């Protein structure tokens, strides 16, 4: 359920905010600069992050002036960073929060760091996720972007706002997820107009808060993804080096947006730093090998045999498949058309099960194809979900008749098992980032 949106007053300005969960502690979220407190709940991973943060504190969120549901401001004369900072105590006072753990992401750090330095009495701790102190390079700041990159960045902000452009740059792990992309594009359109986006991006990119870093005296956690392309890991290392006593954590991944990629790892670091309690692993998420099978040419066979004979043959096929899944210690998840989806806790057993199924149904005059991949899955009451399931299905679709096709992950995990493979080249898997090397099990 979307929490109620209310308004804090700051002079003539009205600042939209929401509160969810219970404290202590209080947690103030300053993720990317643009926001819309209602529309954020329509983007599944964004909503999930907020729900998870609210499990260990009272989560406070607001739209900065000029964005989302807060009052608009003229883009021709933007407030200074100091004036933008006034939004923070106005919201905290309205919700009755004396001190809050402040979580900032990318551009939000430009506000959070000066505020923490100037108002340590209002900040119990500071968490900076993929933040930066300065965007552009300088003689004493070689890790910044070249000055000539500013104009294209501003053109992109103005011309592509509302089309999910931030996904491509700052969340490549979900760039091919059409559901997330569409919902995020709507969020962008709700959060800011093209003109205000360009003006505020210019403000952020031309800001420099390096001088305030030594003055930050609140407990600080700096988290950065090691392969991030938008704001590289050098920015995180710079912050950690110049903020006294900061704890620094590098996490795998190429995303900069706090909600993208491995949320488990990010939330675990934040919760541990804020509460001193590291969350237990989600029992619904486990490492497993997924196996997809299906009958080759089933439509033609069904038409040739007729309904009665086809259903009898299909029942015999199902008995063979189930017997082998049970034999190799697998778990049948569901029947997928004329095939099966099953999981195994060992990749070698899963491969051998696929071989046994293929050989077993040949006695029935049937040929199958099979695809396997290993990765983290989410266990649902009657199903499984997650990227690993999606990859397994795509691998299976590329298998030829009688072929047991696997991802390189499977091949690497079964080294020493006696199984041998033939390379099938690199492939683009629809809806999955990057290229994937596939291998056929050698008979």
Stated pTM of the model: 0.68
Q: Residue 168 class from Cβ within 10 Å (0-12 exposed, 13-18 middle, 19+ buried)?
A: middle
DSSP 367-400: -EEEEEEEEEEEE-SS-EESHHHHHHHHHHHHPP
**Predicted pLDDT at 283:** 62
**Class for domain 285-441, per CATH?**
alpha beta
**Predicted pLDDT at 148:** 86
Residues of the chain within CATH 3.40.50.1820 domain(s) are 6-275
In the block, tokens 């080249």 appear at 425
**Predicted pLDDT at 36:** 93
> Residues 6 or more apart from 262 whose CB is under 8 A from it?
251, 252, 253
Strands 368-379 and 404-407: parallel
Q: Residue 337 class from Cβ within 10 Å (0-12 exposed, 13-18 middle, 19+ buried)?
A: exposed
Q: Which tokens go with 331?
A: 């778990």
Strands 404-407 and 435-441: antiparallel
Domain 6-275 part of CATH 3.40.50.1820: yes
Q: Which tokens go with 332?
A: 């049948």
Q: Are 375 and 412 in contact (CB under 8 A)?
A: no
> pLDDT below 50 — which residues of the chain?
none
**Predicted pLDDT at 10:** 95
Residues of the chain within CATH 3.30.70.1230 domain(s) are 285-441
- Please choose, from the candidates 159, 157, 174, 211, the residue with its C-alpha nearest in 3D space to the C-alpha of residue 32: 157
Q: Return the number of other C-beta atoms located less than 10 Å from residue 328's C-beta.
A: 21
Q: Residue 250 class from Cβ within 10 Å (0-12 exposed, 13-18 middle, 19+ buried)?
A: middle
Q: Which tokens go with 95?
A: 């919700």
**205-256 pLDDT, tens per residue?**
889 999 999 999 999 999 999 999 888 999 999 999 999 999 999 999 999 9
**Predicted pLDDT at 167:** 84
């Amino acid at each position: 359920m979307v929490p109620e949106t209310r308004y804090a007053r700051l002079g003539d300005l009205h600042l939209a905010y929401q509160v969810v969960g219970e404290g202590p502690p209080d947690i103030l979220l300053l993720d990317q600069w643009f926001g819309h407190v209602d529309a954020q709940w329509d983007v599944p991973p964004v909503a999930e992050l907020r729900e998870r943060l609210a499990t260990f504190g009272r989560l406070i969120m607001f739209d900065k002036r000029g964005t989302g549901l807060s009052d608009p401001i003229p883009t021709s004369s933007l407030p200074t960073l100091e004036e933008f900072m006034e939004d923070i105590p106005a919201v905290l006072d309205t919700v009755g929060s004396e001190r809050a753990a402040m979580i900032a992401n990318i551009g939000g750090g430009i506000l959070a760091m000066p505020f923490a330095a100037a108002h340590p009495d209002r900040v119990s701790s500071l968490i900076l996720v993929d933040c930066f102190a300065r965007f552009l390079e300088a003689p004493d700041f070689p890790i910044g972007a070249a000055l000539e990159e500013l104009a294209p960045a501003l053109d992109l902000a103005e011309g592509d706002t509302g089309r999910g452009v931030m996904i491509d740059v700052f969340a490549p792990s979900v760039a091919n997820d059409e559901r997330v992309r569409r919902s995020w594009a709507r969020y962008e359109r709700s959060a800011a107009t093209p003109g205000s986006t360009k003006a505020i991006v210019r403000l952020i990119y031309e800001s420099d808060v390096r001088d305030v870093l030594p003055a930050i005296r609140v407990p600080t956690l700096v988290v950065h993804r090691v392969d991030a392309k938008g704001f590289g890991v050098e920015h995180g290392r710079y912050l950690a080096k110049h903020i006294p006593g900061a704890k620094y954590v590098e996490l795998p991944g190429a995303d900069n947006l706090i909600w993208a990629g491995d949320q488990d790892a990010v939330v675990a670091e934040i919760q541990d730093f804020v509460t001193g309690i590291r969350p237990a692993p989600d029992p619904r998420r486990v490492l497993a090998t997924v196996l997809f099978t299906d009958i080759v040419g089933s439509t033609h066979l069904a038409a040739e045999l007729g309904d009665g004979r086809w259903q009898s043959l299909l029942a015999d096929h199902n008995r063979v498949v189930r017997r082998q899944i049970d034999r190799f210690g697998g778990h049948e998840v569901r029947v997928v058309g004329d095939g099966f989806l099953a999981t195994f806790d060992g990749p070698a057993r899963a491969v051998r099960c696929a071989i046994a199924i293929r050989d077993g149904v040949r006695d029935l005059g049937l040929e199958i194809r099979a695809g396997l991949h290993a990765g983290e899955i989410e266990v649902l009451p009657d199903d499984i979900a997650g990227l690993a399931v999606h990859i397994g299905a795509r691998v299976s679709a590329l298998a030829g008749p009688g072929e047991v096709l696997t991802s390189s992950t499977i091949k690497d995990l079964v080294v020493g098992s006696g199984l041998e493979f033939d390379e099938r080249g690199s492939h683009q898997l629809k809806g999955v980032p990057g290229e994937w090397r596939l291998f056929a099990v050698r008979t």
